[in-house]
A and B are shown apart, each in its own frame.
Chain A
Amino acid sequence: MELLAFGKTGWGDELFYATLMTIAVSITAMLIGFFFALIFTPLKLSKYKSLNLIGNFYTTVIRGVPELLVIYLFFFGGSGAIMYVASIFGYFEYIEINAFITGSVAIGIISGAYSTEVFRGAIQSIDKGQFEAAKVLGINKFTQFYKIILPQMLRLAIPNLSNVWQITLKDTSLISVTGLVEIMRQSYIAAGSTRDPLFFYSFAAILYLMLTYISMKIINKLEIKYSRGY
């Protein structure tokens, strides 16, 4: 137990901050994922074949390629790509992106592909009459989406989004390969310096179980909130 003490003698405080880092990365990645889903869901549902193709390309490639490979692409290619863009604008210095941004964007893009599929499924399962009624009443597309489709869609999407959240949370463990100090990386460091990997990795597993358990409880509450009236 003294291994988990707070302060200089134990790893308690380090692991606590690492857990906060995992939560921060997961939330950032999930939000970046929503942003991507907002772009790609309309593309997948569009009438135009070429736009469909772009949307399908994104979700197929990301969901068919291992997460670790995507993370390596961003880890090794991220600063190169940014420097290339910067060189167009006449900036030739070395740019280093920090691990938090690289990691959140990589996981965000992965989580976005899953969110896109969830949103697409939810929108498609909304009754066609809802769209037609909105059109007949002369409601513009913007209001139609935000006031009519979105609230109904959320109810259908929340159970599946909770799955996406669990996947995203567990995927953040992969960012440890880039050196960002989250639960997995901190356990790796602690295990290396105390030569007690069994204890620290088991403790990491407990931390992840705790996070998934707590998030399940919160999501269940949200589910009840959005299914009022049904």
Chain B
Amino acid sequence: MDFDLMFTSFPKLLGATVVTLKLLSASLFFGLIIGLLFAILRLNKNIFINKFAYGYSYLFRGTPLLVQIFIIYFGLGQIEYLRSTFLWVILKEPYWCAIIAFTLNTGAYTSEILRSAFQTIKPGIIEAGKSLGISSKIIFYKIQIPIAIRQSLPAYGNEIILMMKGTSLASTVTLMDLTGVAKYIISTTFKPIEVFIVAGGIYLFMTFIIHNVIKFLEKKYSFSQ
């Protein structure tokens, strides 16, 4: 055990954690919006809209995240037309490519989580709202969405943790996130175990915090059924 290395690499890894957290929060924020949008599309009765939303979630849940990042980072740059548009400003940066890939990926999983949450809402609750003369728009925003959020909290908590682990793939497109820096230190010092303990410890600590925050929210928004 090389404790010196563990002490000296800790601040470096902690600095890289900031990159990981930035990637995570940005992709979760945009992913939630996309997820909600596609969950609503999935519940649409129009078969084409429905199939489109299903196709999106199937495509992104059926392929590895690594493929998605590589298509966006290495693949899209190949299209000549894209290079001439303003989109190129975003797509030439590995940081934004990673965020786009993570967003689309977590959006697909989130849409599935929210869809099943919407579907488990008892029809009686919506009927009760209707019989009270509440408009269907208000039923959706004030009744269905809050219940769906509560229902989907445990599954969404898992998704946050999975996404946090997913951000480690940013290191494959040259970003120096926590895993990227850990790999760099390992490959220069050849002390994998020490670095793994420190970097893994930071990841575990983040998992622990996310887990407890979700647990707290679950308790706060729980209602007796």
Known: A69-B182, A208-B62. A197 touches B75 (CB 8 A): yes
B165 interfacial by beta-carbon distance below 8 Å:
yes
Residues of B close to A202: CB separation below 8 A: 71, 75
A-B contact count (CB 8 A): 112
- Size of the B side of the interface (Cβ < 8 Å), in residues, is 40
Known: A191-B74, A213-B62. A80 touches B192 (CB 8 A): yes
**B63 and A209 within 8 A (CB):** yes
Partner of A68, one of B71, B78, B171, B207: B171
Give the CA-CA distance A72 to B190 in the complex, in Å: 11
Give the CA-CA distance A188 to B166 in the complex, in Å: 20
A204 interfacial by beta-carbon distance below 8 Å:
yes
Residues of B close to A209: CB separation below 8 A: 58-59, 62-63
Known: A64-B161, A64-B204, A65-B165. A77 touches B193 (CB 8 A): yes
**A64 and B203 within 8 A (CB):** yes
**B182 and A72 within 8 A (CB):** yes
Dominant SS among interface residues on chain A = helix
**B66 and A69 within 8 A (CB):** no
B150 interfacial by beta-carbon distance below 8 Å:
no
Residues of B close to A87: CB separation below 8 A: none
**A208 and B171 within 8 A (CB):** no
**B204 and A69 within 8 A (CB):** no
Known: A198-B79, A208-B64. A61 touches B179 (CB 8 A): no
Known: A64-B203, A68-B179, A69-B203. A197 touches B70 (CB 8 A): yes
**B172 and A177 within 8 A (CB):** yes
Name A172's closest neighbour in chain B (CB-CB): B64
Q: Mark B166-196, 1 if CB is under 8 A from A, else 0.
A: 1111011000000100110011001011001
Q: Mark A171-206, 1 if CB is under 8 A from B, else 0.
A: 101101100000010011001000111100110110
Partner of B75, one of A65, A66, A73, A201: A201
Give the CA-CA distance A201 to B64 in the complex, in Å: 11
Interface size on A, as a range, is: 35 or more
**A205 and B71 within 8 A (CB):** yes
Give the CA-CA distance A69 to B79 in the complex, in Å: 33
| 32-81 of chain B: CB within 8 A of chain A | 58-59, 62-68, 70-71, 74-76, 78-79
A212 interfacial by beta-carbon distance below 8 Å:
yes
Give the CA-CA distance A202 to B68 in the complex, in Å: 9
A-B contact pairs, 11 of them (CB 8 A): A60-B204, A64-B161, A64-B165, A64-B208, A68-B168, A72-B179, A76-B186, A184-B70, A187-B70, A197-B78, A209-B59
Closest 8 CB pairs of A and B: A66-B168, A77-B192, A198-B75, A173-B64, A64-B207, A197-B74, A76-B192, A170-B64
Since A196-B78, A202-B75 are in contact, a sample of 14 more A-B pairs with Cβ atoms closer than 8 Å, ordered by chain A residue number, is: A61-B200, A64-B165, A66-B164, A66-B179, A66-B203, A72-B192, A184-B64, A198-B71, A198-B75, A198-B76, A198-B79, A201-B70, A204-B67, A205-B63
